[in-house]
Chains A and B, each alone.
Chain A
Amino acid sequence: MTVAADASEQESWFHRNQQRIAPWLFLAPGMLFFLVYVIIPVFQSFNLSLYEWDGLGAAEYVGFRNYEDLYWEWVDRDAFYISMKNNLIWLILYLAAIPAGLFIALFLNQTVWGIRLYKSLFFFPFVISQVVVGLVFTWFYDPTFGLLNEFLGFFGLGPVNVLGDERFVTYGIIFAGLWPQTAYCMILYLTGLNAVDPEQIEAGRLDGAKGWKMLWHIIIPQLRPATFIAFVVTIIGALRSFDLISIMTQGGPFGSSRVLAYYMFEVALSEYGFRMGYGAAIAVILFLIMLCFIAYFLWSMYREEKGR
């Protein structure tokens, strides 16, 4: 009895504030790692972009000269301009994965014998590595032996050298990238469709809605959360497109399939690169572009939460 009374009198500061401290304790490891591996490097990159540094010797402060060079590349329609342009093309065309994923999901959302097999086959491209996707499409596009030109040959068309022609190369790579991305969006929508309220569908049906009307007014609004996530992952995926380009073309032919992420890698880390400051400047630009989208996503998420 006395012991318990003593304990309550001497209740420590930690015990008194447990409720408030606990979440921060749980957050601490995550925040620490986020700080060390994300936040601090972001500022280091900002700093590095003001220097000229080959990764070996002393870094030389050059102010905004790296950005000035980027500006001139933009004006000259050189590598930086091409990278920005390709990034924009990626951004727009990659969004095709969302409707494509939705329609495949609708198609697969039925109870037919063996549907699980079909679902896994459609999901398959997302499971395999991007490297494999890149290689498969490289062979598919091969101008001499590739399946694409065999196919075009049936119609008396081609041959087309998709990856060797600066007019087609970016579209060719995006098409390859859409394959796994569509599968990703599909799986998001499939889970979303599980959550669709059957009573609403029933009600809609009683009101005479079917087909497109049913889809547009009843189903899609309920898939909003899935659409939002699909939108976020697709935008981010498009902006950080790198691996397919590295595998399929190495930015070529003559640099026409570069995007910002690949160009940054090229100037800073590849075999002939090692202009760390310049790479950092490109990374900063890419970061600022991404920041716009991320800010928008955060804002709309916040609005959503508040609306509830």
Chain B
Amino acid sequence: MYSTFKRTTAALAIGVAMAAPAAAELTGELRIFLDTSNPAPRATMEAMIERFGAQHPGLEIETTVIDREAYKTQIRNFLTADTPDVATWYAANRMKPYVEAGLFEDVSDLWAEPEIAENLASTKGALTIDGKQWGVPYTYYQWGVYYRKDIFDELGLSEPTTWEEELSNCQKIVDSGRACYTIGTKFLWTAGGWFDYLNMRTNGFDFHQQLANGEVSWEDDRVKQTFANWKQLIDMGAFIDNHQTYSWQEALPFMVNGEAAAYLMGNFAVAPLRDAGLTDDQLDFYQFVAINPDVELAEDAPTDTFHIPANASNKEAAREFLRFVVSADEQTEINNGANLGQLPVNAQSTVDDDKFLQQGFEMLSSNSPGGVAQFWDRDAPAEMAKVSMEGFQEFMVKPDNLDRILAKLERARARIYDN
């Protein structure tokens, strides 16, 4: 689990060439905790830390990689005892408990630096609580509809842009004996993605955020309209059967086997779909269609972040590391197709050639005027996310229970936002 990076002379030479001239010599120990436990992200991060270490030979860097799921519970312990200097986490409401408990360091000073202020402006909102910034983003990725182009061609369909087209496409897919969408809601959050899109398209980004912040009733007619739109899809059999028993990975074969035509998912679904044998000719991407023409398009683009715990011992080195992580070159490097395969957050960095990353970047930078949301379980408080996603799952299986579900969510809202 632990690995300390040794600095070779070769790396040192590169480091000296790249080091910013103004940077003071950093000394002491820098402890970094990562949740990037999958092999590819892990290697990416370790390589990045090695490059950072090469620039700062006086710094003793110790990296700990913790299993992603285990990290979610362990972070509560290590932020209070045995604190690292840098830790990964997620933006928006997901970091709020730690900000409120005073466990994250205020890094507004970093965001005041022109280099960061200008190039990371698009993600500033997601890192801001109470007017201060509490971390820096290192990667993000688009959500959207990944679909089987060959099936669309076979049925003579084209990428939809309006809700009517979406529904008529879907009807044809259903008539051909397939499901329009695969989805696995066993772990609930996938249903949250559908709710995000349907609600943002029906009522707009601002309304969606108000709902996440508990400012709107769940029994509001606008919310009901979102569910009415959702019900149209459910009633026509758009989703695969038994999705409540599958995880998102277990739902992939339905698309690979051609039993479902599309998947509303984050960009991380592309790698397993390709691994399963789908070529780029078979696989394509489109932005979730507009439903209500009066609202601007908004997108989900979850951002993963680095934070400095308030109890960190080497905050100076930690700040330098954060600067390094968001720098244009590093962003280009760690987010390229061979590494994380996601989108860089620095406006000066380059997006990998991958067709999905290019389309996603294009969509997020020029076609989401409404705004960029994190994701339902990061925008809403954890407790509300949990009950509501359970409600979404129930709704997808038993749409007739809607009134009971909304009443339950409304009761939960009264309790959760009350204090």
Q: Which residues of A approach B to under 8 Å, CB–CB?
A: 52, 54-57, 69, 76, 78, 141-144, 161, 163-164, 249-250, 252-255, 269, 271-275
Contact = CB atoms under 8 A, between A and B. Distances in A.
A271 B382 contact: yes
Contacts, number: 69
Given A54-B101, A143-B245, A252-B244, 6 more contacts: A54-B97, A161-B244, A161-B245, A271-B382, A272-B385, A272-B386
B391 interface: yes
Given A163-B245, A271-B382, A273-B382, A250 B73 contact: no
Most buried by B among A56, A272, A275: A272
A78 B419 CA distance: 22
A254 B245 CA distance: 11
10 contacts: A55-B76, A76-B408, A141-B245, A142-B245, A143-B241, A161-B245, A252-B186, A271-B69, A272-B383, A272-B386
B397 interface: yes
A79 B390 CA distance: 11
B394 interface: yes
A254 B394 contact: yes
A166 to B, nearest CB: 8
Contact of A254 (B73, B98, B391): B391
Contacts of B393: 252-254
Nearest to B416: A275
B44 interface: no
B187 interface: yes
Contacts of B245: 141-143, 161, 163-164, 253
Nearest to A58: B101
Interface in B44-92: 69, 72-73, 76, 79-80
Interface in B197-245: 241-242, 244-245
Contacts of B397: 164, 253-254
A275 B382 CA distance: 11
Contacts of A164: 242, 244-245, 397
A275 B381 CA distance: 13
B383 A56 contact: no
Contacts of B188: 252
B98 A255 contact: no
A254 B415 contact: no
A159 to B, nearest CB: 8
Most buried by B among A57, A142, A144, A269: A144
